[in-house]
Amino acid sequence: MASHSERSIHEMLKDTPSMNESNSAIHTGTEGSRSYRPNSLPLRNNASAPTTPSPVTSPNGDMMKNGASKIDTIKNWSISTYKCTRQLMMEKLGKTTRTVDSELEAQIEQLRETQRKYLSVLRLTRAMSSHFHHVVQTQHALAEAFSDLAQKSPELQEEFLYNSETQRNLTKNGELLLSALNFFISSVNTLCNKTIEDTLITIKQYEIARIEYDAYRSDLESSKPEVTSPGSEDAQKSFTKHKEQYEKLRSDVAVKMQFLDENRIKVMHKQLVLLHNAISAYFSGNAQALEGALWNFNIKVKSPNSTKTSWLEK
């Protein structure tokens, strides 16, 4: 037992940590099991072990770039707006010159006057169609009333039937004329509010480009030509850019107006022939000629008493 105890003590002494390690060793009371703690407790502001910060990519950089880009855009827009407003004011006061294309501007003014006159014709034709629609409805109701009275009045049956048949024929021919009027209205409306309006939008862009071009031209002319600086170079670049844009839009307007004029003549020729033939045939009582006029233009007839929408009104 003594030798066994000595061996156990010697083994325990062998397992005992050295003096340097004993300060940090805590024994659990069982042989061969121990845990270690660091020599010193970590402090909150421990400056003894500086660490090198790793580069971190933040989305704030992209946001700053986008913000700077938007600021530049707003800045450029503000400068351009100021110059264009000043140019307009100076033109109205007669204190500056403006670029004038007499031939093109005369054509533009003529186009606007043509649109105004066509819109007036469109308004009057719509009023005529609306009034005539009520006339046809009244004729249809009158035909039904005469037919009903013919059944209930044997002594006047023949007279009521004559009048009922007359009103039915008038209703039928009136429906044909209404179809012709609606076709005319639809075509002129497309010409005025879509075809011509599309060209006028390009004209508005051209007029804005002209003002911008004159504004930058005046700005460049007012600067001293003998002074060479980054600002004067930027002014020259801006002037060149707006000049190219102005010339491009001027060419686009000229081409569009040429095609528009050719298209306008074709459309109005067709519609005026239709309107003349239909109205003449209706009021002369020539039902066959009225049907032929609509057949030549592939126009479908819609009864004013039907609820289904015509393809002309879609």
Report H helices in 94-225: 102-152, 157-190, 197-222
Q: Which residue has the tokens 């530049």?
A: 72
Is residue 242 within 8 A of residue 209, CB to CB? The reply is yes
pLDDT tens column, 29-75: 444 444 444 444 444 444 444 455 454 555 566 666 666 677 767 76
Q: Which of 173, 42, 191 is nearest to 118 (CA)?
A: 191
pTM for this one? 0.67
| Structure-block tokens of residue 101 | 């294309």
pLDDT tens column, 97-126: 777 788 999 999 999 999 999 999 999 999
Q: What is the C-alpha separation between 60 and 308, in angstroms, rounded?
A: 60
- % of the chain exceeding 90 in pLDDT: 45
pLDDT tens column, 136-171: 999 999 999 999 999 988 899 899 999 999 999 999
Q: Which of 194, 176, 178, 187 is nearest to 122 (CA)?
A: 187
Q: What is the C-alpha separation between 279 and 129, in angstroms, rounded?
A: 12
Please say if the pLDDT value at position 79 is more than 90.
no
* Cα-Cα end-to-end distance for the chain: 116
